[in-house]
Structure 1
Amino acid sequence: MTQNCFDDGDEDDVPEWADRVMADVAREVRRRRKEMKWSAQDLADRCEAIGFPIPRNVIANMESGRRAVLPLVEVMVLAEALYTHPIRLIYPVGYVEEVQQLPLTYPVDTAQAMSWFAGLNEDFRADHRMLRHHVAHRTAVERAFFAVHSEERQRRAAESTVDDIEQAKALRTQADLAERTARAKAELYQVRSDIYADGDPLPDLPDELVDVDPPEGYERDTD
């Protein structure tokens, strides 16, 4: 199902490009629906359960190419209904070899186009400070959250151990995990401090990590 090349410089390629994008989405919707052994009505029912009804006939017309438009909101709902991500419907890596990122451009590898669309290339991140901050913050939160819960599980295990030797081992493991938690929280503190210093809004923290923020707040960089 590789898309055909376009005629270089031909303005008529613009509507053809849009048709190809919609055709790729429609084919992937149909493929995933068939893979799950669902009828078009089953998929329509799932969309309705999510809270955004897409009638069976609309789905059928989209899959057959009889529908001229495909709103972004429907791609989002169809992806959720099919237990996937919207970007996987737009760029079906493994099922379509090449796509055009934009009209009047040569086809590129589908995975490359997906990275461009999602902003995963380094050039994009370099130009978007807030994105870099929030990616770093999410990673730091995940590490700290996992460390806190691992330490808590080990603490309960140590408290419930009656054998002195086993309890001593459990307490040593708990101490190691406590150090890991402290390091993870320190990393998260630094990320949040950098975000605040740059003037960007601080993301919310889960309840388990609210002690990361200093009581007096962070200092704003005035340089």
Structure 2
Amino acid sequence: MTHRDIDDEEDDFPEWVDRIKANVAGEVRRRRKEMGWSAQELAEQCEQLGHPIPRNVIANMESGRRASLPLVDVMVLAAALATYPVCLIFPVGYVEETQELPFQQLVPTWDALRRFTGEEEVSLNDAGLVSAFEIHASLVKTALAALDEEEQARFAAKTATSRAQQEEAERKRTTYGDQAISAKYNLRQLRRGLREDGATPPHLPASLADVDQADSNTTEENDL
């Protein structure tokens, strides 16, 4: 490798760092002005969130004079500006192209954001338990909706003014009841699998507490 090649590689890395910092700085400035805030007002908002970022630090960041940009600052700035950290790092619609990593070519900012959040899968990348948690959220939504519909059908059956209305309401109650049972069963299996993998399942709404209770009862019976 020639001396020139080494110099080129050394120059590429800071360029990527500077580009990401410029993305964040530009979006912080844009959001701040959009909200009608001064740098001091943004600093005060950050302090209220429990992580002070002085006005001069914000001003230096926006002007490109700040040498570093800690992740914790990006998180708090995003919260203060009522947005998401990824929207500061990859400002879709305001920065057309960006770099995802050092030495890589420029790519559309939208593509970079989707890979950063995992919306677009990357070959060989491990998404951890994200997909399992997404399935869990979908099952919870299905179970809650079925329980609500079941309750409405039960009320309709009680208040029906004709036999036909009562039979239709009972049919719906049974259908939604079966949907709730199926969703709860799948939730129970999923949560059991997460625990076996050493993970902590997501929080359950109070109306679905019986999902874990049933699993706990089964475990106790097996221990006897």
Structure 1 length-normalised TM: 0.77
Q: Which amino acid in the other structure matches residue 199 of structure 2?
A: P
Relative to structure 1, the CA distance from residue 129 to residue 48 in structure 2 (aligned partners, 3 Å threshold; closer, same or farther) is closer
Which residues of 2 match residues 201-212 of structure 1 at below 5 A?
201-203=199-201, 204-212=203-211
Which residues of 2 match residues 174-213 of structure 1 at below 5 A?
174-196=173-195, 199-203=197-201, 204-213=203-212
Q: Which amino acid in the other structure matches residue 104 of structure 1?
A: F
Cross-structure match for 2:161 = 164
Q: How many residues align?
A: 208
1:86 aligns with 2:85: yes
Deviation for aligned residue 1:72 = 0.6
Structure 2 length-normalised TM: 0.77
Deviation for aligned residue 1:75 = 0.4
1:24 aligns with 2:23: yes
User: Identity over aligned residues, as a percent?
Assistant: 49
Q: Which amino acid in the other structure matches residue 69 of structure 1?
A: S
State the distance in 1 between where 2:172 and 2:104 align.
Answer: 57
By percentage of residues, which structure has more helix?
2
Structure 2 runs not aligned, ≥5 long: 1-6
Relative to structure 1, the CA distance from residue 209 to residue 156 in structure 2 (aligned partners, 3 Å threshold; closer, same or farther) is same
Cross-structure match for 1:39 = 38
DSSP-derived class of the 2:91 partner: coil
Which residues of 2 match residues 29-178 of structure 1 at below 5 A?
29-123=28-122, 127-152=126-151, 154=152, 158=156, 164=161, 168=166, 173-178=172-177
Deviation for aligned residue 1:107 = 0.6
Q: RMSD across aligned C-alpha pairs, in angstroms?
A: 3.0
Instruction: Show CA shifts across 1:179-204 (max 9, x none).
Output: 3322322332232244345x332414
Instruction: Show CA shifts across 1:72-99 (max 9, x none).
Output: 1010001111111100100011111111
Instruction: Tell me if structure 2 keeps the 8 A contact 1:11–1:104.
Output: no
Please identify the structure whose Cα radius of gyration is greater.
2
Cross-structure match for 1:217 = 219
State the distance in 1 between where 2:124 and 2:210 align.
Answer: 29
